[in-house]
Amino acid sequence: MNGFSYSISGRSKGGGLAGTMVIFSVQVQEEGAVVEKYQPADFEVVVEGPKVAPKINVMGGKGGQFHVGFTAKEPVLHWLDFILKGKWGPSPFALPIKTAVGEIEEMPYVGAERAKANPGVQETTKPVALDKSKDSDTKAKDLDKAKEMEKPKEGDKEKEGEKEKELERTKELEKAREVEKAKELEKAKELEKAREIEKAKELERARELEKAKELEKAKELEKAKELERARELEKAKELEKAKELERARELEKAKSPPKGKEPIQSPPLKKPLSTRSNVFPYQCITFFPQTNLVDTATGSFTLHTRDSSAKTCADPVDLRITIPNYSETIKVVNKNNGHYDITFGPLPEGTHAITVTVDSKPVKGSPFNVHVSEGCVGAEIAEITFLMQAINKNGEPVCRGGDFTIFTVEAKGGKTSHLQDSGLEDGRYHFDYKCVPGANFVNVVSNLTGKSIDGFPLSWNA
């Protein structure tokens, strides 16, 4: 048993011309199986005869019908073997490919590929050509029958007429069957097309629904973000309002010194009346190295004047510093680059509100609280704050901050804090060192020169 049978149909079932496209259909039927839908990969065509085997294209498979096409380049008898799911057909199919004048090279069937695929199996079927294939259907049989009916017999004219009518009825019936078959095929194609269109519409509707869901989700997310931003903005406004209220209270408190004592003000730095200043008081910032002092030590801080866009501004200003309960001189040094160094103290024990105004308006954060506690006449060094000024190769101050790679701090014995800048973009950096009993060592190295900066290293015993 060979496994399946086949029949050939189509425009090129009788052959074709060399150099043209050959197209035909192969209807297969597996033995003992109902017709099912195959895939193109289930069907293979092996060509024998031409020197160069052509590239075979196979399509279809529905209902057991495959469509085969290839370009025949050589005028030679092509032998075609058909393989369905690894099973070889019962016999090869002869397909003549001729020249335009009808020339063809007759090549005998060898069956080399069939022998390789089926070793040890002797071929029992002969190759058949198209005119002897099973594709000779009922129409051919009816034609033979009609020819028999056309043969005249003596004295039987009546029967001859009946045979002619029977032949005519057979032809009409065959034609009607073909028309009905064509209609059914067309109807099946339209139904398949309608199903594909409906499937495409459903897919498009699903995509649109998914897109709408994603859009709705994005809108909800954006709405939630806007609500969160509004809440944060409202919270920030309330916090800023509370800070302003607190500053106003502190300022009012600082302006009202205890009875019998008047607050001491620094000598005012006045600007010329004809000079217009671009300094914006609320953008000015201060830097207090220490806000916890003792009553035996002086204090200091730095003022950084800036314009409305928070950029450094060195325009002349009317600067005043007021400290309640303090009767000593407040020293103010103008660096002429938008920076002012202020020194005061010692202050008496307690909390002091230092008010800083520029052009009669408080700077950002004013008043500032400084806490003073009772000092000691003698004490051991417990913690030291080191303050450095960054300079360039010409010895000039580098007025910028945030570059923590310019210094390397070395210490032995005690521990150091992280290197920090002043926050005023003036090139000043500081760190704290906690002393230990015994030997202490601190060194600060400039990474630009690789040497210790002036004043270092330091070593002492505690």
Residues 348 and 389 in one domain: no
Residues 446 and 335 in one domain: no
The answer to the question of residue 243 being in a domain is: no
Residue entry with tokens 């101050």: 397
State which residues form the domain around 419.
380-462
- pLDDT exceeds cutoff 50 at 124: no
Residues 265 and 322 in one domain: yes
Residues 412 and 372 in one domain: no
Which band of pLDDT confidence, cut at 50, 70 and 90, is reported for residue 416?
A: confident
Which residues lie across from 389 on neighbouring strands? 428
**Higher per-residue confidence, 153 vs 425:** 425
Identity at 460, one-letter amino acid code: W
d(CA 60, CA 78): 22
Strand pairing class (16-17; 93-98): parallel
Query: Across residues 366-386, what is the average pLDDT?
Result: 78
Examine the fold and report which residue of 90, 111, 136 is the final residue of a domain before the chain moves on. 136
Which of 255-259, 322-326, 330-334, 452-456 shows the lowest per-residue confidence on average (mean pLDDT)?
A: 255-259
Query: Across residues 262-270, what is the average pLDDT?
Result: 54
What mean pLDDT is reported for the chain?
83
pLDDT score of 393: 76
Which of 154-158, 221-225, 347-351, 358-362 shows the lowest per-residue confidence on average (mean pLDDT)?
A: 154-158
Residues 164 and 89 in one domain: no
pLDDT score of 405: 79
d(CA 312, CA 279): 9
Residues 217 and 320 in one domain: no
Which band of pLDDT confidence, cut at 50, 70 and 90, is reported for residue 446?
A: confident
Q: What is the CATH number of the domain that holds 458?
A: 2.60.40.10
The answer to the question of residue 251 being in a domain is: no
Q: What is the 3-state secondary structure (H, E, C) of 190-242?
A: HHHHHHHHHHHHHHHHHHHHHHHHHHHHHHHHHHHHHHHHHHHHHHHHHHHHH
Judged by DSSP in three states, 159 sits in helix
Which band of pLDDT confidence, cut at 50, 70 and 90, is reported for residue 312?
A: very high
d(CA 453, CA 260): 50
Examine the fold and report which residue of 346, 376, 406 is the final residue of a domain before the chain moves on. 376
Residues 384 and 423 in one domain: yes
The answer to the question of residue 181 being in a domain is: yes
The answer to the question of residue 365 being in a domain is: yes
Residues 153 and 132 in one domain: no
Greatest C-alpha distance within the chain = 164
Residues 354 and 401 in one domain: no
pLDDT tens digits for 318-341? 899 989 878 788 999 999 999 999
pLDDT tens digits for 198-211? 999 999 999 999 99
143: left (phi over 0), alpha (psi -120 to 50) or beta: alpha
Residues 345 and 434 in one domain: no
Which band of pLDDT confidence, cut at 50, 70 and 90, is reported for residue 449?
A: confident
pLDDT score of 59: 93
Residues 357 and 316 in one domain: yes
Residues 418 and 403 in one domain: yes
pLDDT score of 117: 82
pTM of the shown model: 0.30
The answer to the question of residue 62 being in a domain is: yes
- pLDDT exceeds cutoff 80 at 433: yes
The answer to the question of residue 245 being in a domain is: no
The answer to the question of residue 50 being in a domain is: yes
Most confident of 136-145, 180-189, 432-441: 180-189
Tokens standing for residue 147: 């020819």
Which of 121-135, 212-226, 395-409, 437-451 shows the lowest per-residue confidence on average (mean pLDDT)?
A: 121-135
Contact 288, 370 (CB under 8 A): yes
Judged by DSSP in three states, 122 sits in coil
- pLDDT exceeds cutoff 80 at 138: no
What is the count of structural domains for the chain? Answer: 4
Which of 14-28, 53-67, 136-150, 212-226 shows the lowest per-residue confidence on average (mean pLDDT)?
A: 136-150
pLDDT score of 428: 86
Examine the fold and report which residue of 326, 361, 376 is the final residue of a domain before the chain moves on. 376
- pLDDT exceeds cutoff 50 at 129: no
The answer to the question of residue 233 being in a domain is: no
